[in-house]
Amino acid sequence: MKTYLVQQRLLNLWRSSFYIQNEAGDNCFEVKSDIHMLFRLTIYDLNGQPLAKIKKRYFRIFPRFDVYSPDGNLLFKVKAKFALFSRKAKIISKHPDYQGLRVKGNILAWEFDIVKGEQTLARISKKLFRLTDTYSVSILDELDSVNYLAIAIIMDCMHHKKRSKFVGMG
């Protein structure tokens, strides 16, 4: 299992950008907002190559975010679901790798599991007592790590929108 640390910056003036680090503290990915559209994020490798794009959809009853491949193909949609004593999201996709994925979280939105069937593929945990929203993301399959990290960013935007510094996406 591979673990990453997603930590937003304390102060963002215009364009948001931050790094995603591995458990050793080394930068692995960079996340930047679109300079023209603040509700769009792109995850880059350290060479500046785009790996995934996140777009928020407005005018919806429940929040929805779309995740695209670098070439602009829609990979999946993340849509919040109504639940009384927990936080849930549904992953909608035509791609077989993402069909059947669900996100289940606790009522405070501090812990989320990305599951398929009965198997937990990733766990997102909010770190407490930090100046900024910080998440530990433990991923079972390293091949889909970028997309699971995108889901972690989306979960923060959905459930901590008043405090989220992730490019004003909340």
Q: Which domain holds residue 63?
A: 2-159
Domain assignment present for 166: no
pTM of the entire structure?
0.85
Give the integer Cα–Cα distance in Å for 48 and 169. 22
139, part of any domain = yes
Q: Summarize pLDDT for 26-82 with one digit per residue, the tens.
A: 999 999 887 666 578 999 999 999 999 999 988 877 789 999 999 999 999 999 887
**50 within some domain:** yes
Confidence label for 164 from pLDDT (cuts 50, 70 and 90): very low
What's residue 34's pLDDT? 79
The pLDDT assigned to 119 comes to: 93
Structure token digits, residue 99: 């069909």
Q: Using one digit for the tens of pLDDT, what is the confidence trace for 93-127? A: 998 888 989 999 887 778 999 999 899 999 999 88
- Rounded to 5°, the CA angle 60-123-28 comes to 95
Q: 152 CB contacts (<8 Å, ≥6 apart)?
A: 6, 112, 122, 124, 135, 137
Q: What pLDDT is recorded for position 68?
A: 96
**Residue pair 3/22 in contact by the 8 Å Cβ criterion:** yes
Residue 143: pLDDT band with limits 50, 70, 90:
confident
Q: Is residue 44 part of a domain?
A: yes
What span, in angstroms and rounded, lies between the C-alpha atoms of 4 and 118? 23
The confidence score (pLDDT) of residue 131 equals: 65
Contact present, 53 and 40 (Cβ < 8 Å): yes
- pLDDT for residue 167: 42
- CATH code (residue 30): 2.40.160.200
Question: Would you say residue 168 has pLDDT above 50?
Answer: no
For residues 50 and 47, give the distance between their C-alpha atoms in angstroms, rounded to a whole number.
Answer: 9
The total number of structural domains that make up the chain: 1
